[in-house]
Amino acid sequence: MANTANSRGGFGAWLLDPKRRGALLVTPALVILFVMNIFPLMWSFGLSFFNYKASSLKVPKFRGLSNYERVLTDDKVWERFQTTAIIVGSSVIVQLIIGFLLALMFAKAFPMRRIVLMLVLTPMMLSFVSVGVFFKLFYEPTFGIVSYVLNFFTEDHFVMLGSPAGAIAGIVIADAWMWSPFVMLLVLAGLVSVPKYLYEAAEIDRASAWRRFWTITFPYIRSLLLLAVLFRTIETFKLFDIVYIITEGGPGSSTETIAVFLYRNAFQFFKTSQSSALAYIVLFIVIVLTNLYLYAVNRRAEEVS
Amino acid sequence: MARKYREIGKAGWGYTAITSVVGFIYFFPVFWIILTAFKTRTDALAVPPKLFFTPTLENFQSVFFRASITTGTSQATDMGLYFFNSIFIAFTSVGLALIVGTLAAYAFSRYPLKGNDTYLFIILTTRMMPPIVVIIPIFLMFRLSGLAGSYWGIILLYTAFNIPFSVWLVKSFFDELNPEIEDAARMDGATERRVFFNFCIPQILAGLSATFVFGLILTWNEFLFALLLTGVETRTVPVAMARTLGGEVGVDYGLLAAIVTLFLIPIFFVTFLLQNQLLRGVTFGTVKK
């Protein structure tokens, strides 16, 4: 208040003091983040202690930790976490393998590389909705191209999404196809950063290709691979759209990931408070993963410098 | 065989041929979607699936004009507006996030605050958390404040969504610069503003464009927030796509494929133009020049 009493120039001068330059530059970003992310986050933290339902007008009652207790003792929740872990685990492994192979292929300079690379990068630019809908069509037993091709090899009519294992595979294929290019970009960056003289030295030492890979290439891409694993794990953890469109969580609840489960509870059954509590448990897991991620980034930064 | 690709060397047209085949196999689902866009309804659901057919532009036409069943006249759809919305919302919010993020990144890099790392960690966490964690309060907040269905609401939300990424990436680019050049400029009497605009920004332009492409790819296709928070006037294409699914006669794959194809064009071009920068972007700037 004292500052507003000064002339406008006085306040401006106070604000633009070099001591405050850092704080001033950071403020807009922090304000937007606070309003759009941190404040809602605190709000839902508050909600998680009440028995609030977004669909009813009743005044919510304070319930303490009972929402957390209910969520953590619910067998369904543990099942959903297991499903999520299976889908995340297998999808990330597939992405790593395919991304790695693609990166090896593109590490070389060749004519029209820019254009060929675009072929591989395109899946990343599609929307989840369209990938979901068209992969569902590809898997369709009568019209689908996957079933059509597979029917040459099997006697039975092939129904991809009919069994839990098939449905999980269907989701993993779609997700891994979309995001392997991302892993490829990361690994490619690692491969490109290996100093050439190391290979020349290995040439003189007549090191075998296998040995060269483990002693020269791998150390340079190791932390980038870790980075890829963590980043993709965190992202796949949020997987919602593809699952929702391809299988809607079925058959039964065999592909219902934690994100789909949360969405259902929050917006179909309007268990607002209970889903806030579960959301917080998810957030806790993400924070742990973020810490690991930062550790990977810092290690990478140290190795490079 | 194995040693060939591990060394980053040059290869000829033969290699291009091999990679093109692999690239095309990878691209095949996209290719099929694009093909479907040129198919009639019968061809799109033919058994067995058709690779050769007489192409039609009907689907592209019905993206923007739909024949009314009762009168037989053609009626304009709102898809043009949705394309405008998607482009406007994505470019504005990614641009805003880049400006705000660059300012913050510069501060984090050059004028560290007390608890600098804590701020950076909190910022990153907001990017990593599943949107589902905040979607309930954001939904309530938008409903109460009247931001629901407005451009500003969704733009601010997407800006917030992109800030963490921008701050982290751009900070890593600033960190890579040699501060001696800036000090030298200061010695010559350059103001802080000049140091920032004439010395720092030009050096990280490549990094800024990488950040832009990355933000754009992630924002372009966002669905969940758009579904809950945009209204009739501000609806984006991914939401409109999802709405074409609920027809009584089943999914019109040709129409959907046409929308997907058209929607791919802008982002494809931006990515193609800034492809080299994208490589730096994904690594959080850890690749040295």
Going by pLDDT thresholds of 50, 70 and 90, the confidence category of residue B231 is: confident
Other C-beta atoms closer than 10 Å to the C-beta of A293 total 21
CB spacing of A33 vs B123 below 8 angstroms:
yes
How large a percentage of chain A has pLDDT more than 90? 11
If asked whether residues A87 and A31 sit together in one domain, one would say no
CB spacing of A102 vs B287 below 8 angstroms:
no
If asked whether residues A27 and A153 sit together in one domain, one would say no
Residue A57 lies in a domain: no
What is the reported pLDDT for A209? 78
With beta carbons under 8 A apart, name residues in chain A contacting B12: 110-111
The 10s digit of each residue's pLDDT in B31-78 is 999 988 888 877 777 777 777 777 888 888 878 887 666 666 677 778
Residues 6+ apart with CB under 8 A from A280: A44, A45, A48, A68, B133
The 10s digit of each residue's pLDDT in A48-74 is 787 777 666 677 777 777 778 887 888
What is the reported pLDDT for A93? 94
How large a percentage of chain B has pLDDT more than 70? 89
If asked whether residues A152 and A250 sit together in one domain, one would say yes
If asked whether residues A18 and A108 sit together in one domain, one would say no
What is the reported pLDDT for A92? 93
Residue A54 lies in a domain: no
Residue A155 lies in a domain: yes
If asked whether residues A19 and A147 sit together in one domain, one would say no
**CA neighbor of B279 nearest in space, from A97, A96, A112, A121:** A121
Owning domain of residue A39: 2-47
pLDDT higher for B157 or B202? B157
> Residues B266, B218, A139, CA angle at the centre, nearest 5°?
85
- Please give the Cα distance from A45 to A34 (Å, whole number): 15
What is the reported pLDDT for B283? 57
Long-range contacts of A114-119 (CB under 8 A, 24+ apart): A114/B272, A114/B275, A116/B16, A116/B19, A116/B20, A116/B23, A117/B23, A117/B275, A118/B268, A118/B271, A118/B272, A118/B275, A119/B20, A119/B23, A119/B24, A119/B26, A119/B27
- Residue B75, φ and ψ in degrees, nearest 5: -125, 135
What is the reported pLDDT for A3? 44
Q: For residue B201, give the 3-state DSSP assignment.
A: helix
**Structurally, how many domains does chain A consist of?**
2
pLDDT surpasses 80 at A179? yes
The whole-chain average pLDDT of chain B stands at 82
Residue A62 lies in a domain: no
If asked whether residues A215 and A118 sit together in one domain, one would say yes
Task: Tell me the residues of chain A between 280 and 299 that have a Cβ less than 8 Å away from chain B.
Answer: 280, 282-283, 286-287, 289-290, 293-294, 297
How large a percentage of chain A has pLDDT more than 70? 91
- Please give the Cα distance from A2 to A96 (Å, whole number): 59
If asked whether residues A180 and A295 sit together in one domain, one would say yes
R_g of chain A, CA atoms, integer Å? 25
If asked whether residues A98 and A33 sit together in one domain, one would say no
What is the reported pLDDT for A267? 79
pLDDT higher for B134 or A172? A172
Task: Tell me the residues of chain A between 109 and 168 that have a Cβ less than 8 Å away from chain B.
Answer: 109-114, 116-130, 133-135, 137-138, 142-145, 148
Residue A53 lies in a domain: no
With beta carbons under 8 A apart, name residues in chain B contacting A190: 283
Residue A219 lies in a domain: yes
For A188-205, letters b (16+ CB in 10 Å) and e give bbbbebbeeeebeebeee
The CATH 1.10.3720.10 domain(s) of chain B lie at 80-287
Interface test mutation site (partner A, options B1, B5, B6, max chain A beta carbons within 10 A): B6
What is the reported pLDDT for A123? 93
The whole-chain average pLDDT of chain A stands at 81
Quote the DSSP letter at residue A109.
B
Q: Does A54 touch chain B (CB under 8 A)?
A: yes
What is the reported pLDDT for A275? 82
CATH of the domain at A273: 1.10.3720.10
Instruction: Chain A: give the shortest CA distance to residue B73, in Å.
Output: 29
If asked whether residues A201 and A100 sit together in one domain, one would say yes
If asked whether residues A125 and A157 sit together in one domain, one would say yes
pTM score, two decimals? 0.83
Residue A24 lies in a domain: yes
Checking ipTM against 0.85, whether it exceeds it is: no
Per the CATH hierarchy, to which homologous superfamily does domain B80-287 belong? Answer: MetI-like (1.10.3720.10)
CB-based burial of residue B101 (10 Å sphere; 0-12 exposed, 13-18 middle, 19+ buried)? buried
Residue A136 lies in a domain: yes
* Token pair of A202 as six digits: 């290995």
Q: Does A201 touch chain B (CB under 8 A)?
A: no
pLDDT surpasses 60 at A155? yes
Other C-beta atoms closer than 10 Å to the C-beta of B145 total 10
The 10s digit of each residue's pLDDT in A208-226 is 778 877 887 787 777 778 7
If asked whether residues A94 and A210 sit together in one domain, one would say yes
* B262 → chain A, closest CA residue: A126
The 10s digit of each residue's pLDDT in B233-247 is 889 998 888 887 766
* pLDDT mean over B189-197: 82
